[in-house]
Chains A and B, each alone.
Chain A
Amino acid sequence: MKDQTIPKLLRQSAKRHANKVALREKDLGVWQNITWDQYYENVKCFSLGIVSLGLERGDKVSILSENNPEWLYADIGTQSARGVVVGVYPTNVASQVEYILGHSQSKFVVVGDQEQTDKVLEVAERLPGLKKIIVIDMKGLRKYTHPLIVAFKEVLTLGKTVDEGDPGLFDRMVNETDAEDTALMVYTSGTTGKPKGAMISHRNAIASAENFITATPFKERDSVVSYLPLCHIAERSFSVFYPLVVGGITVNFAETIDTVQQNLREIAPTIFFAVPRIWEKMHAGHVMRMRDATWLKRLVDRWCLRIGRACYEKRQENNGISYGWKILYAIAFIIHFHPLQRIWGLNRARNLYTGGAPTPPEVSVFFHGIGLPVRELYGLTECTGICTVHQGEDIRIGTVGQLAPGVELKLGDDGELVFKSEGVFQGYYRNPEATAETIKDGWLYSGDVGRLTEHGHVKVIDRKKDIIITSGGKNISPQEIENEFKASPFIKDAVVVGDGRKYLTALILIEYDNVGKWAEDNHIAYTTFRDLSQKGEIFELISQITKDVNRKFAQVETVKKFTVLDKELDQDDDELTATQKVRRKIIEEKYRDVIAAMYR
């Protein structure tokens, strides 16, 4: 597989599977199948089309769209012409889009719909390098007469004409693609500073995918639902790299972003990856639903969960599970766990993953208990996704699993995790300083502090920059404490501060829906988020949670005071990254007065 590239893999799959279903998209209420042949044909047409519009080797093509099959056609089509694909989050605002299009020097941008087109048009004047805006869904755009705009369909038609003129051309183009070509650039959201464009080659992508698939095997008949942003390395791996490397996995696209949950239920994928936020939400949803249930249902729920948890703990301690327990578990599974799994569309899921941020252990244990063994994985954009993952039966919650095959680890002086693998990226685009800081002698410096446990699992403690050193000289990982907070259904986010201070404090963001419901149940009237968050009763509620959290930590690690934030954190205000991670520095700066008040 040494000189493999993504377009070559697609060609192989198209030859081997031809009429099998590669992609599925729900359109007008009906699931439409796209075979591997059609997939390849569309990629071919897009590729030839965009080349005749002027794409040359090494040119950048940005894609700014929700997930759909066209995203993949544009992606692999560009790579077939030896172009580089830059994914942009559809949630980015115009100024962020401008930065990425400008910094990547994109010659083309593929946009999903009118909303995204408007964003690009707003900044197009300041992007002289931009040659065409290729629009997938032309709805509402027919009257736009902007010279840059061209419909996605037109590009395909253009490509088709070229193909008819020279049927062997695309084949030759694919032959020419090289494993060392930069295939894509991923702009890391970065919790500090401007985003950086990580360059990833075909070799990186394929090697990393192979490592992952060896670690947790996939089957040819597996299916996934593509619903997280494709510009993120994780979703791209699950929707593009893995299906191509395994050859034969079906990728399903949700109808719209609002129907993901319904569509999941319809598809019931066998492979499911979610970020902790989603697992937390599912867990919180269950807890809240049970609050509304009848006493009998609540009793059954508690009984079943206790059995699930007990069985999970027995398995952890490597004690055999007795027949008695097995029967109890089977009963719990039939009456409770299986229906529960069906609600989420996870009843067929075999490979379940969580990653992208630390998962609260409480939440993981819950899912293990109900028969969904969620594997935590750890990876970085800079090593093309995966570094470690829970493999086989050996899943230890609180760790991020064993090293994936083909990945080497060493610990830096200060406990920094340093990796080496074929997945280590080519460097940051137009930023040699940052590249030199990240890659040294082929080793990738992750910026995360961690250690190896006695069972050979990697435990990530925190971002190196985020470690709190109190004025007493004690090193504390805020992440661990925040995670305990986030396990509560009432808390969406928590930011623990205390660097250079006498004690720890926290900024708490409440989960509006659940706290709102709690308030209604307790007859507390409120009007807005702001009003609700500042109620005395809510303060009491959070105090109680804080007490529970503090019980799990040593004295110095306890949160002494907290403030409930009176507004939701927002990506548009720079408080969250595109992946909804908290930008700690910005928040600490913004709420400086609030924090100071807690130390008075």
Chain B
Amino acid sequence: MPVSNTTREENAGFLERDSAIPPQLVISDLFLSFGGIEALSCLDLEIRKGEIFSIIGPNGAGKTCILNCISGLYRPQQGKVLFEGVDITPLEPHKRAALGIGRTFQNIELFKKMTVIDNVMLGRHRFLKSGIFSGGIFFGKTKQEELAQRLRTEEVIDFLEIESIRKKTVGELPYGLQKRVELGRALAMEPEVLLLDEPAAGMNLEETEDIVRFILDVNEEFGTTIVLIEHDLQVVMEISAKVACIDFGFKIAEGTPEVIQKDPKVIKAYLGEE
């Protein structure tokens, strides 16, 4: 993939140039436990605007917990999540979404009996202004608003090349396409930061290549910051500017893909010790 090479090099350059700028998303000293089980401890991460940041680690390491803390599904017992300098730790998930934090889930969370368009359109919710009554009458401004939102939805559909299924019910689509629709819903909310939880899980080679291309396109076209959890290490190493490795709730390594690949602690976490 010639694309990925360009991206990575440019992203690396981007990092060096802008290291003086404060990061977009900061996680500091995060601590999360369920009863006696510590899911995350003393976790610090800094994610810069416009970069692809990957989180890797063995099963149960706490990767999804991090995303849930960022998007607000979990509330950490300790520590802070800062988004563009503002502490968002006390905010509800929907308020965080309104700030521009979008996400997809590891196990697809779509409305299975609704069409692709309706599902993607749902992502536009934060832009809707009309109230319950004017929405019910569906006249004048409300109608215009709906049309404008539909246009943006169609642009997302065009972007993800899912025109042929736009009127299909999500439940009848193959897994790979459902994942793409979920990405579409996240994109429709025009996020500043996109949290992707294993976007390529369970996909065949071709589907993986497609989704990776879309992730790169989103990153390049809209400058969206991407936080990626992925098990396919080849994908991670090819597209990420920076990678953090988590094991048992601790960050054991962080750096560029080259550094991470050679890190003995990462190798140990993945392969075990001799």
Contacts and interface: CB of A to CB of B under 8 A. Distances in A.
B155 A143 contact: no
Interface in A269-317: none
A214 B213 CA distance: 49
Contacts of A140: 3, 213, 216-217, 220-221
B164 A142 contact: no
A29 interface: yes
Interface in A123-165: 139-140, 142-145
A118 interface: yes
A142 B163 contact: no
B164 A139 contact: no
B159 A258 contact: no
B55 interface: no
A255 interface: yes
A122 B213 CA distance: 18
A29 B220 contact: no
Nearest to B152: A28
Interface string B177-189: 0000000000000
Interface centre among A121, A139, A140, A262 (most CB of B within 10 A): A140
A28 B155 contact: yes
Given A139-B221, A142-B221, A29 B164 contact: no
Contacts of B217: 139-140
B2 A121 contact: yes
A112 B230 CA distance: 31
Contact of B164 (A30, A145, A256): A256
Interface residues of B, number: 20
A322 interface: no
A27 B221 CA distance: 19
Given A28-B155, A28-B158, A118-B2, A143 B220 contact: yes
B7 interface: yes
Interface string B138-163: 00000000000001001101110101
A144 B154 CA distance: 26
A142 B154 contact: no
B259 to A, nearest CB: 24
Contacts of A145: 6
Contact of A29 (B166, B213, B216): B166
A258 B166 CA distance: 12
Contacts of A256: 161, 163-164
A555 interface: no
Contacts of B3: 114, 118, 140
Contacts of B161: 256
A259 B163 contact: yes
B contact face: mostly helix, strand, loop, or mixed: helix
Nearest to A143: B220
Contacts of B213: 140
B158 A142 contact: no
A29 B163 contact: yes
B10 interface: yes
Interface string B203-223: 000000000010011001100
A114 B7 CA distance: 15
Interface string B1-39: 011001100100000000000000000000000000000
Nearest to B150: A29
B69 to A, nearest CB: 32
A29 B154 contact: yes
Nearest to B157: A29
Contacts of A27: 158
Contact of B6 (A30, A143, A259): A143
Given A143-B7, A256-B163, A258-B164, A28 B2 contact: no
Nearest to B217: A140
A122 B216 CA distance: 20
Interface residues of A, number: 19
A259 B10 CA distance: 36
B221 A258 contact: no
Nearest to B219: A143
Interface string B25-59: 00000000000000000000000000000000000
Given A139-B159, A140-B217, A142-B221, A259 B2 contact: no
Contacts of A258: 163-164
Nearest to A115: B213
A262 B162 CA distance: 13
B273 to A, nearest CB: 38
A570 to B, nearest CB: 14
A97 to B, nearest CB: 15
Contacts of B163: 29, 255-256, 258-259
B233 to A, nearest CB: 24
Interface string B72-107: 000000000000000000000000000000000000
A28 B151 contact: yes
A125 to B, nearest CB: 13
B37 to A, nearest CB: 41
Nearest to A138: B221
Contacts of B221: 139-140, 142
A401 to B, nearest CB: 35
B228 to A, nearest CB: 18
A142 B217 CA distance: 9
Contacts of A143: 6-7, 10, 220
A426 B254 CA distance: 66
Given A258-B164, A259-B163, A259-B164, A142 B155 contact: no
B162 to A, nearest CB: 9
Contacts of B6: 143-145
Interface in B180-202: none
Nearest to B2: A118
B164 A28 contact: no
Contacts of B151: 28
B210 to A, nearest CB: 11
Contacts of A142: 220-221
Interface in A16-30: 27-30
A249 to B, nearest CB: 25
Nearest to B10: A143
Contacts of A114: 3
A143 to B, nearest CB: 5
A143 B220 CA distance: 7
Contacts of B158: 27-28
B195 to A, nearest CB: 22
Contacts of A118: 2-3
A258 B161 CA distance: 10
Contacts of A30: 154
A28 B10 contact: no
Interface in A233-273: 255-256, 258-259, 262
B220 A28 contact: no
B34 to A, nearest CB: 41
Interface centre among A30, A118, A122, A143 (most CB of B within 10 A): A143
A114 B161 CA distance: 13
A202 B217 CA distance: 41
Contacts of A262: 164
B161 to A, nearest CB: 7
A537 B21 CA distance: 68
Nearest to B218: A140
B216 A28 contact: no
7 contacts: A28-B158, A139-B217, A143-B6, A143-B7, A143-B10, A255-B163, A262-B164
Interface of A: 27-30, 114, 118, 121-122, 139-140, 142-145, 255-256, 258-259, 262
Closest 8 CB pairs of A and B: A258-B164, A28-B154, A140-B217, A259-B164, A29-B154, A255-B163, A143-B220, A256-B163
Interface of B: 2-3, 6-7, 10, 151, 154-155, 157-159, 161, 163-164, 166, 213, 216-217, 220-221
Given A118-B2, A256-B163, A256-B164, 4 more contacts: A118-B3, A142-B221, A143-B220, A145-B6
